[in-house]
């Protein structure tokens, strides 16, 4: 997913056309509300959007004070894909842009009344009575004005949990940081927290009506999927946040994820990756030091080795690994004690070797289920910390279960204030 920031003067005619088509289709056609959607405020706006191969998936425009309100403002907010975090992400990025470009201390948004709970979760509050954008009965999309107070002058505190995932003892498994928020922080602040933690992933959780929104950051950037940090997030919510049921629902960039608590395990339901066979190359052999028997590619690159000892004794060249395709590079083989053994490397994301990787097992599990003729597996990830995953394949979904243990709880002070 590509993120783009452009002032009106920088937009190409094609970009402007796609933006207007999207806005009119949502605010005029879909909502059956005839009004002057394209206005002069566009000329004085920064236009921000996320796009993929299917076009613009989320959009907003950001304006300085004096354009539509006395304060800097964000408007025309659209997320085409619902319940995957894009709406929160475009709002968060809009807030960050308003701070950076206009030094905003307050931001105002004209929000449709049905969306007010969404903006309240992002830290806004209602400051006006509802009013009508258009008078036709079919356009009873009442809007209210919301204001976000950006607390730059005072200290803010976030409680953070460090959890070792896919293990039942500390100093093993894969550690992840988990921050439970009331509303999203600016994206750069979340990235800074992940950099400061210097763990493979830091998870950020914000409550929504039917569950939680979940995002994951590595020290070098946001990623679309992380298994062990999802397990860590579920552990924290079940242990420290009162829950009405034994099932949690997360909305993420990769779609909806369901977590069920089962005794001392947490079972996660993930989309399966597809094992697309690719040719074994000399570059692969040079990067890992041995020639793979087979190679497969989806989000990650999966290299199949001859035996478990080859996996355990591997000494990869991380510089050469980072030149291979795939976000993560996984090596795997049969094992005598477990159904399969693996190790996972992610130098592109600033993680030389990941201790235990739930997301990559969404590729490892389908491969070994087919090879072994089984629907369930016990998998060992043989990093120095090591961890065990219990997995089942259910059609195009993978259920991965594991244990978790709390290592630490801390308070993080962030913002612009200094501490002595």
Catalytic center residues: 201
CB 222 within 8 A of CB 192: no
**Which two structure tokens, joined as six digits, stand for 96?**
């960050």
Closest CA relative to residue 313, chosen from 299, 333, 338: 333
CB 405 within 8 A of CB 191: no
CB 344 within 8 A of CB 332: no
Neighbours of 131 (CB within 10 A): 11
DSSP per residue over 218-278, as a string?
A: ETTEEES--HHHHHHHHHHHHHHS--SSSEEEEEETTEEEEEEEETTEEEEEEEPP--EEE
Closest CA relative to residue 62, chosen from 14, 121, 104: 104
The conformation of residue 25, written as its DSSP 8-state character, comes to I
Q: Are strands 106-112 and 143-149 parallel, antiparallel or unpaired?
A: antiparallel
**Which two structure tokens, joined as six digits, stand for 224?**
């679309």
Q: Are strands 247-252 and 156-165 parallel, antiparallel or unpaired?
A: unpaired
DSSP per residue over 83-112, as a string?
A: SSSHHHHHHHHHHHHHHHHH--SEEEEEEE
Dist CA 227 CA 93 (whole Å): 25
Neighbours of 14 (CB within 10 A): 8
The conformation of residue 26, written as its DSSP 8-state character, comes to I
User: ∠ CA 239-258-373 to the nearest 5 degrees?
Assistant: 115
Dist CA 348 CA 351 (whole Å): 7
Dist CA 22 CA 24 (whole Å): 6
The values of phi and psi at residue 339, to 5°, are: -65, -35
Dist CA 286 CA 382 (whole Å): 21
* Burial readout 164-175 (b: 16 or more C-beta within 10 A, e: otherwise): bbbbeeeebbbb
User: Which ranges constitute the DSSP H helices of 262-404?
Assistant: 282-288, 308-312, 318-321, 361-372
């Amino acid at each position: 997913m590509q993120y783009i920031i452009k002032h009106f003067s920088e937009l190409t005619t094609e970009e402007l056309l796609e933006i207007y088509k999207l806005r009119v289709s949502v605010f005029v056609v879909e909502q059956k509300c005839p009004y002057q959607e394209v206005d002069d405020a566009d000329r004085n706006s920064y236009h921000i959007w996320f796009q993929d191969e299917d076009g613009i998936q989320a959009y907003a425009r950001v304006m300085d004070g004096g354009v539509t309100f006395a304060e800097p403002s964000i408007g025309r907010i659209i997320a085409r894909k619902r319940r995957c975090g894009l709406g929160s992400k475009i709002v968060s990025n809009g807030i960050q842009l308003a701070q950076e470009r206009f030094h905003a201390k307050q931001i105002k948004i004209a929000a449709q009344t049905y969306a007010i709970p969404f903006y309240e979760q992002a830290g806004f509050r209602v400051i006006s009575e509802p009013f009508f954008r258009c008078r036709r009965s079919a356009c009873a999309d009442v809007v209210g004005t919301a204001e976000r107070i950006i607390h730059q002058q005072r200290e803010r505190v976030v409680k953070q949990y460090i959890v070792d995932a896919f293990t039942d003892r500390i100093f093993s498994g894969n550690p992840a940081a988990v921050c439970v928020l009331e509303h999203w922080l600016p994206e750069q602040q979340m990235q800074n927290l992940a950099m400061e933690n210097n763990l493979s992933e830091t998870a950020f959780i914000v409550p929504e009506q039917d569950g939680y929104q979940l995002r994951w950051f590595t020290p070098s950037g946001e990623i679309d999927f992380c298994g062990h940090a999802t397990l860590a997030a579920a552990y924290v919510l079940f242990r420290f946040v009162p829950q009405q049921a034994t099932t949690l629902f997360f909305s993420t960039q990769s779609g909806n994820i369901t977590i069920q608590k089962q005794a001392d395990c947490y079972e996660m339901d993930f989309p399966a990756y597809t094992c697309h066979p690719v040719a074994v190359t000399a570059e692969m052999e040079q990067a890992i030091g041995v020639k793979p028997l087979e190679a497969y590619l989806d989000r990650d690159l999966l290299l199949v080795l001859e035996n478990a000892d080859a996996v355990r004794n591997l000494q990869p060249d991380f510089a050469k690994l980072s030149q291979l395709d795939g976000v993560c590079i996984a090596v795997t083989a049969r094992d005598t004690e477990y159904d399969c053994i693996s190790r996972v490397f992610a130098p592109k994301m600033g993680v030389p070797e990941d201790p235990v990787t739930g997301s990559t097992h969404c590729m490892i599990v389908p491969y070994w289920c087919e090879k072994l003729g089984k629907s369930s597996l016990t998998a060992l990830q043989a990093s120095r910390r090591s961890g065990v995953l219990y997995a089942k394949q259910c059609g195009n979904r993978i259920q991965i279960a594991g244990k978790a243990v709390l290592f630490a709880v801390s308070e993080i002070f962030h913002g612009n204030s200094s501490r002595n």
